[in-house]
Amino acid sequence: MRHDAIIIGGSFAGLSAAMQLARANRPVCVVDTGKPRNRFAATSHGFFGQDGMPPPKMLAQARDKVAAYTSVRFVDTEATEADADDDGYAVTLASGERLRARKLVLAFGLNDGLPAIPGVAERWGETVLHCPYCHGYEFLNRPLGVLSVIPLSTHQAALIPEWGPTTFFLNGGEMPDAETRARLAARNVTIEPEPIVRLEGEAPKLAGIRLADGRLVEIAALYLAPRTSFQSPIAEQLGCALVDGPLGPVIRTDAMKMTNVAGVYAAGDIARPMHNATLASADGVLAGSAVHQALVFEPVRR
């Protein structure tokens, strides 16, 4: 069957795009592997009207709402390839089945590359975190840490004291310059140069950071900047232009989320430098309505 649009990724961005197209009664297929980026967190915070909800519950409710529209089809599998065909795009599924559509929305999200420090991975999303707006209030006034991973980590170290007294762990890395040290001192940040051996405590709880010299620095949560990568190579396969984001590459789009490849749109974390479920959802709304208007107003090639 030929759809008007195929949406690759059925999470905050993809479901929001699907809703716009569903409400215009357009045949849409959402292809999804069910691995939203925040699946490691027990609760999600800051989303309009849904603060404190478990991510799977939020997404299940959103999907049910979209599925109520009869023009929407869900396929729970991986989209492995996408390429241009006569009048649009063909998407190959893991089963080998090929789906066709006039427009594509890429909403396949990011993977987080975590530093290979023992104890980090099993605490990701609970006490090892990337965003204090998402997961900061829960640790209010408790001792906190920031791991130096990228140059922007110094900004994170200066921000986190808003939630609790902060230690900036250099993990044996380079000491910040005098100006940055002064900025951190003004925020009462303690700089800890010693290499880290492991995170300690009964995971996912965190008791503290064990250092190479044997000391344990007690903290309740550690913030770090993950290195991000796309969950799927499909944007590169299609020739979508990328730009450097602070954590990894993002797909370049115009204000209505169209990429440089005609008829291909990108929404959510893969298409913006700042990552947040609300922003991903807003991106999906933009992409879905832009796709719809293109379907209405663009001439159909015969």
Ligand X SMILES: Cc1cc2nc3c(=O)[nH]c(=O)nc-3n(C[C@H](O)[C@H](O)[C@H](O)COP(=O)(O)OP(=O)(O)OC[C@H]3O[C@@H](n4cnc5c(N)ncnc54)[C@H](O)[C@@H]3O)c2cc1C
Which residues are at the interface with ligand X (CB under 6 A)?
8-14, 31-38, 40-41, 44-47, 78-79, 107-109, 112, 124-125, 130, 134, 231-232, 268-269, 275-278, 280
DSSP string, the chain: -EEEEEEE--SHHHHHHHHHHHTTT--EEEE--S--GGGG-S-B-SSTT-TTB-HHHHHHHHHHHHHTSTTEEEE-S-EEEEEEETTEEEEEETTS-EEEEEEEEE---EEEEPP--TTSGGGBTTTEES-TTTSSGGGTTS-EEEE--STTHHHHHHHGGGTS-EEEE-TT-PPPPHHHHHHHHHTTPEEE-SPEEEEESSTTS--EEEETTS-EEE-SEEE--PEEEES-SHHHHHT--EEE-SSSEEE---TT-B-SSTTEEE-SGGG-SS--HHHHHHHHHHHHHHHHHHHHHSPPP-
Q: How far is the CB of 255 from ligand X (least distance, A)?
A: 18
Residue nearest to ligand X (CB): 268
Please report how close the Cβ of residue 140 comes to ligand X at its closest, in angstroms: 15
Shortest CB 296 distance to ligand X, Å: 25
Q: In terms of DSSP bridges, do strands 2-8 and 98-106 run parallel, antiparallel, or are they unpaired? A: parallel
Q: Which is nearer to ligand X, 95 or 278 (CB)?
A: 278
Of 166 and 276, nearer to ligand X (C-beta) is 276
Nearer to ligand X, 237 or 293 (CB): 237
Residue 42 CB, nearest approach to ligand X (Å): 10
20 or 210: whose CB is closer to ligand X? 20
In this complex, which beta carbon is closest to ligand X, that of residue 88 or of residue 176?
88
Q: Which is nearer to ligand X, 170 or 231 (CB)?
A: 231
Q: How far is the CB of 250 from ligand X (least distance, A)?
A: 11
Q: Give least dist CB 263 to ligand X, A.
A: 18
The minimum distance between CB 21 and ligand X, in angstroms, equals 16
Between residues 38 and 167, which has the closer beta carbon with respect to ligand X? 38
Q: Which of 15, 116, 135, 104 is nearest to 63 (CA)?
A: 15
